[in-house]
Structure 1
Amino acid sequence: MTEHLKMDKVQPRLLDETGQGVISTPMPRPEGPLKVSGRATYAAEWKAENMAQGFMVRAGIPKGSYKIDADSVKDMPGFLGVYSDHMVRNSAQGTMNTNPVQLEHEIQYLGQPIAVVVAETFEQARHIAESLKVDYTRDDDVAGDFDAVTDWKEGSSQDQGDLDDAIAKAAFAVDSTYTTPPHNSAAMEPHAALASWDGDKVTVRASLQMLGYNRNEIADSLGIDAANVRLLSPYVGGGFGSKLGIDPASVSAAVASRHLGRPVRVVLHRNNVFEMINLRTQTRQRVRLAADSNGKMTAVGHENWQTNLPDEPFAEPVDTATHFLYGGENRRYGQYTAVLNRSASGSVRAPGEAVGMLALENAVDELAEVAGIDPVEFRLRNIPDTHPENGNAYSSRSLAQCLEEGAEKFGWSQRKSPKERREGEWFIGMGVASAARTNILMESKARVTLNPDGTALVETDMTDIGTGTYAILGQIAAEMLGLPTDKVTVELGDTDLPTASGSGGSWGASSSGSSVFLGAKAIRAKIADRLGCSPEELRLQDGVATGGNNRRPLTELLEGPISEEGHIEPGDQDVAQAGFGAHFAEVAVNSVTGEVRVRRMLASMAAGRILNAKTAQSQVWGGQIWGIGSALTEEIQHDRRTGHIVNNDLAEYHVPVNLDVPDLQVHFVDERDDYANPIQSKGIGELGLSGAGAAVTNAIYNACGVRVYDYPATPDKIFPHL
């Protein structure tokens, strides 16, 4: 039996009635001991009998064609084969559900995967790959420089009212252009896959986020039926969007294994990860804002320019939050794209908001400064009552509460004017930025089984990418079935299990959690029927069912296991759904060198029901840290002549390390979003990043009076203006 819900109406708050005290608590991750002791097996750690090792061969030119000379290496020790068939150009886009571009022998960027070498050992495969002779035919018409692009293609656009006239008549206005560099997800675990065939069926152990889609992508790439593909991803060491779609390792391992008739494992070198896996695009963004004499915004314009490879469908939705965050009846949006011979662009944590809100929230801060209004107060004045473009109500919106409570907890009232606060050679300043992330529900299924011995099993192909899925799904089942969490086992990451939403887009916990909730709800209905009461009367606790003046142990009500499948789908709703928040930062700027140090940050977040306080806080911490990186250090650098990535490793691509990260605080605003899903939760992982970097750069301005328009805010962009 399946408990199926299409989410097109408000649901009752059952989790507020179950009374177990399990949901929302800061429960540790049940798989934590396995991870810290090395017993949680990741994709690159799996082994198989008679396993061979593969190593990717990268293109050595940015544009042209190639021919592999396998004879040049066939006599090297350990050589088993070189394969270039079915080679994918780059990783698939999230929810693509089909194969990425497969070019055969064409090259469109330097570092593109063109073959996989297979040998008996990893070291042999690497040596052979480095020795392999490749004959190239070069095309000198290479487009590698973002700043040299003139052929921009207009994409999505929108006009409402008259932006130009509103700006001309406004009491206060700003017109600023911001640039953001490409970013890399830089997940701790590199992309890896172990493939083996049994007749026409292939099993791939891989590092992937969305198995329901990934199975179809691999099948399409190989030209086989999806029913013949099994994926296993029980543990994923970070993804941040980079593992939403299949990657070259997954396809190459399957191709090589089919050729050789033995298992093959392929692990991407860190340089491969930086080049072959989709990056966050570089952007140029023009933001125009205007306000009347009372500080009420009357105009909002947000245009952006970005690039990708030919035939790549993704474009970063940088203006997503701009559409609904603030008021203003005159609005203009425009997106312009171009083709470059550089690594593909795709979804990276908080696609759209992560870089779009850097520009938007910096511009809002500028406008508040021009209007002479405190930045927190300015934002509060401009929260619209309804969606400013379609008039729809917000399903829930606690932005004002996030700003007000966050400001109080952070000590915002102590903020001074630019350059007014100084400690020795350090200027000290505070900054604020709103946070917003569109809330999304995706179709998801899970099977829940309650056993007569008082244990339960949750099964779904949902993944845990370090976000706490094992804990959260176990908590939901325990709360609904009246069991201790140690009596609930959660099995994830296997496409033989019911198909979940996958991890991505901040929809994973809410979507897969809702399917677990529905499966457990169906079990509760059966127990209530056996007890002789209505489901609303039923109370389950410590293995005992109570209701309708009856009280019986579950062992007496269950002759055998009860297994139910929960199935959630999004529905049609005329409401605007999003998570909201506010980021606060205090920084010190060195008056001699222009160096910036973040001294403390506070995030005030409203994301519906918090399912696990510990994992939710951890997600926001990660967002704050990523915000520091986006603001101050992270920058993929491309050679303008060839478009290839210059800093393609973690030695040269600078993510924040321990000494870069200050005291981080997280405050959750209590909220329920009845339109979101039956468990009233909203995504938190990407909300925690959205706006975080802008709070840092706004604090830089408050400290030293320098606004940075070209991210990241390195000392060379600050010192000349002090």
Structure 2
Amino acid sequence: MATQISPASGRDTFVGRAMSRVDGPAKVTGLAKYAGEFAAPNLAHGYVVSSAITKGRITAIDAAAAEAVPGVFKVITHENRPSIAGEAEAYQDMVAPPGAPFRALYDETIAFSGQPVALVVAEDFDTARYAASLVRVSYEAETPHTDLEAQAGSSYDPPEKRDGIKPPPEPWGDAGSAFDGAAIKVSQQYRIAHEHHNPMEPHASTVVVEDDGTYTVYDKIQGVANSQLYLTNAFGLKPEQVRCLSPYMGGGFGCGLRPQYQLFLAMLAAQDLNRSVRVVLTRDQMWSFTYRPGAVQTVSLGADTSGNLQAIRHDALHGTSQYEDYQENIVNWSGILYGCDNVELTYRLAKLDTATPGDMRAPGAVTGVFALETAMDELAYATRIDPIQLRIANYTDTDPVEEKPFGSKALKACFRQGAERFGWSKRNPEPRSMRDGKELVGWGMACGIWEALMMESSAKVTLTADGRLEVGNSTGDIGTGTYTILTQIAADALGLPMEHVTTKLGDTDLAKAPVAGGSWTAASSGTAVMKACRDVAEQAFKLARGLEGSPLANVDFERVVFSKGRIEVAGDPAKSVVLTDVMRQTGTETLEATGSASPDKDFAKQYEAYTHSAVFAEVKIDEELGIVRVTRVVSAIAAGKILNTKTARSQILGAVVMGIGSALHEESMLDHRLGRFMNRNLGEYHVPANADIHDIDVIFVDEEDKANPLGVKGVGEIGIVGTAAAISNAVFHATGKRIRDLPITVDKILAA
């Protein structure tokens, strides 16, 4: 069981409150710098030339015209690139799936559309871009295979599993026989389209060559340790030779977990030319790598007439590249969310001529839970049981896969509070029974689930004699509010004003921490900060107790609190000392400590930890035009302790918006004749705009959990899981038409 650690002050002055972002002023005034904005003397600019075919080989490259342009330094291709230390090995990073990661400019082989085939390096961006248009590349093209369903016959169970992704559990019971014998059966196929992350900030890397021969690298990345590891592997460098920084990030959603090819190309050019180089990708080029893979799933549910599940079968298929086995946890949720004695879950991959897919917010869960929760809604109609009651009838407080209880699961409270806020009791269950003028009205709901994870992390804190505290580690703030929550935790721990605390992130020179992702940052880095602050608090207390005539001389550490810059006896503030006076009188310039955090193995032996949610959605649909509006969403979240209700709510709002995008808008369209995504811009790839978003209500349900010392579960992912299913179910309620293929677009509604 994890030991709960309270702030040394004993008073949650800031933690748990709605606090504005400490990094907000820097972002809104333009003081925050991103990877493509850092300057360096004699900085050169690289522009990527992308392949015009999807599969085949390069037969010739003519760069003469490009190299003749004034200001062009070099055109680097696979034919003239310098040799690199790691070219005989795969360039691994911390989140790579099994296989051989893509190596830019490695040889003449073309493996996917938009693959980089050359880098034009010039004295400025415009010159590089113009010269890139003059590079002529000849190809020998082959027929690409990018149609997932056409390749389903050659699908396979990945032989090597990806770290952190649990394979489907072994079946239990006899799902086939139980389904065949069930009184009520639902068995349908569900599809979700490819989706691209499309953050506002494009991928960019600035490699600065320092006078001592080392490199300072600014990269768009969710974890600078990944960039450093990738570069040291690829170029045979030592970690101390490469300092990687990513202090701010303009959106990632998972596409920044792995280093992308612009980082490799920037370092390659910097080493070749012995000068600093920046490479920024265009919006079009960001379609040439990581994306949420489209998937085809079959869910079969068997139940008795009371709605009790007798059988669950869930099969999923999605594509991967020819060179890596990218994997997601898609079907496992169907074995965890509900209790059932007969379960069979299968998951397969198909090799496609595309780039490797990548993690996109709540990878796997967005896909798998959409299918499961849509099937549960179909079962609710088949049994004529209210969708909430059906889920309660199959509720479980124990993880059926691991056969361990959940450390906490306030999902029933999510049902109750969400339904009350939404007005669910007023719902007429019959499809097409609710109207608002010329619009059909639909109400739908679904569950969400996500892992509550904690990773090994560390953090260093330094208290100076003037009462200022510096906190830092190498994790990133990808827009989730990490700068703010770590500042809150540290300020509470030492009883300081938040403005006296400075948090530094995204730098490999800082204490080691994992990438920012998976909703584990608060639990991991937050716990490390708290432990480091407690260490400093103990150091300060020992100094205070040793002062001549100290009012704390005969007091134990557990009896004191840190509050308003003082160390005082709990309940007796008259017995106190000023923290800065303690350091001044003892001649102490700084107090430092590094705290380490890791998952509680004892807890993990006894319990499972997940976040849960209940999502309620209202849609209004023009009956003649088939246009869908999501007019209301209520998202009730059970995620343990909420450190900052303002930034946490912001995370759920953003996640719900992405869920609306997944349900109604987002689709990366592949032309299988060309093997190319065709809508490679924000004009043709539709994401929700302001006019698409109406009322979103977020409820944080009280929940106590001991999975980690802070009692947090993370909120980055849970808000998107189940949202698309709730909207899909609402569309059925409004129209009586079941659309099982995301996104739900006008043509699908009219044709249903």
**Band of TM-score, shorter chain:** over 0.9
Q: CA RMSD in A?
A: 2.0
2:684 corresponds to 1:663: no
Query: What amino acid sits opposite 2:147 in the alignment?
Result: D
Helix, strand or coil at the partner of 1:622:
helix
2:473 corresponds to 1:441: no
Whether the 8 Å CA contact 1:55–1:125 is kept in 2: the answer is: yes
Q: Deviations over 1:229-284 (max 9, x none)?
A: 11111111110000001111111111111111211111100001111x30111100
Alignment match, 1:567: 596
Tell me how far 1:525 sits from its aligned partner: 2.2
2:586 corresponds to 1:555: no
CA separation in 2, counterparts of 1:392 and 1:379?
20
CA separation in 1, counterparts of 2:34 and 2:695?
31
Helix, strand or coil at the partner of 2:742:
coil
Query: What amino acid sits opposite 2:74 in the alignment?
Result: G
CA separation in 2, counterparts of 1:350 and 1:595?
27
Q: Deviations over 1:132-176 (max 9, x none)?
A: 0123232x2421222311211134553111111111121222111
Query: What amino acid sits opposite 1:566 in the alignment?
Result: G
**TM-score between the two structures when normalised by the length of structure 2:** 0.91
Helix, strand or coil at the partner of 2:598:
strand
1:39-54 matches, cutoff 5 A: 39-54=31-46
Alignment match, 1:170: 182
- Larger deviation: 96-105 or 631-640? 96-105
- Aligned with 1:261 (options 267, 274, 280): 274
Query: What amino acid sits opposite 1:96 in the alignment?
Result: A
2:399 corresponds to 1:387: yes
Helix, strand or coil at the partner of 1:515:
helix
2:739 corresponds to 1:701: no
CA 419–97 in structure 1, closer or farther in 2 if over 3 Å, else same: closer
CA separation in 1, counterparts of 2:463 and 2:589?
9
CA separation in 2, counterparts of 1:101 and 1:320?
29
2:523 corresponds to 1:510: yes
Whether the 8 Å CA contact 1:298–1:329 is kept in 2: the answer is: yes
Helix, strand or coil at the partner of 1:516:
helix
Whether the 8 Å CA contact 2:54–2:676 is kept in 1: the answer is: yes
Alignment match, 2:132: 129
- Aligned with 1:283 (options 295, 298, 302): 295
1:648-687 matches, cutoff 5 A: 648-675=680-707, 677-687=708-718
Whether the 8 Å CA contact 2:637–2:698 is kept in 1: the answer is: yes
CA 421–482 in structure 1, closer or farther in 2 if over 3 Å, else same: same
CA separation in 1, counterparts of 2:202 and 2:665?
21
Q: Deviations over 1:553-603 (max 9, x none)?
A: 112332231111011122431221111111111001111011110011011
Tell me how far 1:358 sits from its aligned partner: 0.9
Alignment match, 2:609: 577
Alignment match, 1:641: 673
- Aligned with 1:613 (options 645, 649, 663): 645
2:539 corresponds to 1:536: no
Tell me how far 1:407 sits from its aligned partner: 0.5
- Larger deviation: 566-575 or 34-43? 566-575
Whether the 8 Å CA contact 1:15–1:679 is kept in 2: the answer is: no
Whether the 8 Å CA contact 2:2–2:600 is kept in 1: the answer is: no
Helix, strand or coil at the partner of 1:44:
coil
CA separation in 1, counterparts of 2:92 and 2:662?
24
2:595 corresponds to 1:594: no
Could you tell me which runs of 5 or more consecutive residues in structure 1 were left unpaired when the two chains were aligned: 1-8
Helix, strand or coil at the partner of 2:237:
coil
- Larger deviation: 67-76 or 616-625? 67-76
Helix, strand or coil at the partner of 1:631:
helix
Helix, strand or coil at the partner of 2:185:
strand
Alignment match, 1:5: none
Whether the 8 Å CA contact 2:532–2:593 is kept in 1: the answer is: yes
- Aligned with 1:153 (options 142, 152, 156): 156
Identity of aligned residues (%): 36
Whether the 8 Å CA contact 1:90–1:112 is kept in 2: the answer is: no
CA 343–91 in structure 1, closer or farther in 2 if over 3 Å, else same: farther
Query: What amino acid sits opposite 2:124 in the alignment?
Result: T
1:344-355 matches, cutoff 5 A: 344-355=356-367
Helix, strand or coil at the partner of 1:61:
coil
Whether the 8 Å CA contact 1:433–1:691 is kept in 2: the answer is: yes
Tell me how far 1:40 sits from its aligned partner: 0.8
CA separation in 1, counterparts of 2:387 and 2:125?
55
Alignment match, 2:664: 632
Could you tell me which runs of 5 or more consecutive residues in structure 2 were left unpaired when the two chains were aligned: 159-166, 546-552
CA 639–512 in structure 1, closer or farther in 2 if over 3 Å, else same: same
Helix, strand or coil at the partner of 1:221:
helix
CA 209–717 in structure 1, closer or farther in 2 if over 3 Å, else same: same
- Larger deviation: 105-114 or 179-188? 105-114
Tell me how far 1:11 sits from its aligned partner: 1.1
Q: Deviations over 1:153-212 (max 9, x none)?
A: 134553111111111121222111101011111111000011022354221111110112
Alignment match, 1:63: 55
Tell me how far 1:19 sits from its aligned partner: 1.0
2:103 corresponds to 1:108: no
Helix, strand or coil at the partner of 1:448:
strand
Q: Deviations over 1:498-555 (max 9, x none)?
A: 1112211111122111110110111222233343433321201011101387411112
Whether the 8 Å CA contact 1:92–1:245 is kept in 2: the answer is: no
Alignment match, 2:312: 300
- Larger deviation: 24-33 or 612-621? 24-33
CA separation in 2, counterparts of 1:405 and 1:423?
25
2:15 corresponds to 1:23: yes
Query: What amino acid sits opposite 2:129 in the alignment?
Result: R
1:163-312 matches, cutoff 5 A: 163-198=175-210, 199-275=212-288, 277-312=289-324
Tell me how far 1:467 sits from its aligned partner: 0.9
CA 213–534 in structure 1, closer or farther in 2 if over 3 Å, else same: farther
Alignment match, 2:374: 362
Tell me how far 1:497 sits from its aligned partner: 0.7
Alignment match, 2:349: 337
CA separation in 1, counterparts of 2:519 and 2:657?
17
CA separation in 2, counterparts of 1:24 and 1:100?
42
Whether the 8 Å CA contact 1:321–1:438 is kept in 2: the answer is: no
Q: Deviations over 1:445-503 (max 9, x none)?
A: 11011222222110111211111111111000001111111110111111111111221
CA separation in 2, counterparts of 1:640 and 1:419?
37
CA separation in 1, counterparts of 2:735 and 2:511?
55
Alignment match, 2:95: 95
CA separation in 2, counterparts of 1:509 and 1:81?
45
Alignment match, 2:388: 376
CA separation in 2, counterparts of 1:678 and 1:97?
31
Alignment match, 1:6: none
Tell me how far 1:92 sits from its aligned partner: 7.5
Helix, strand or coil at the partner of 2:559:
coil
Alignment match, 2:548: none
- Larger deviation: 293-302 or 262-271? 293-302
Whether the 8 Å CA contact 2:91–2:230 is kept in 1: the answer is: no
CA separation in 1, counterparts of 2:557 and 2:653?
39
Whether the 8 Å CA contact 1:203–1:231 is kept in 2: the answer is: yes
2:486 corresponds to 1:465: no
- Aligned with 2:419 (options 398, 407, 425): 407
Helix, strand or coil at the partner of 1:520:
helix
- Aligned with 2:436 (options 419, 423, 426): 423
Tell me how far 1:213 sits from its aligned partner: 2.3
Query: What amino acid sits opposite 2:579 in the alignment?
Result: L
- Larger deviation: 161-170 or 623-632? 161-170
Aligned residue-pair number: 710
CA 589–93 in structure 1, closer or farther in 2 if over 3 Å, else same: farther
Tell me how far 1:368 sits from its aligned partner: 1.2
Q: Deviations over 1:594-619 (max 9, x none)?
A: 11100110110011111111110000
Alignment match, 1:398: 410
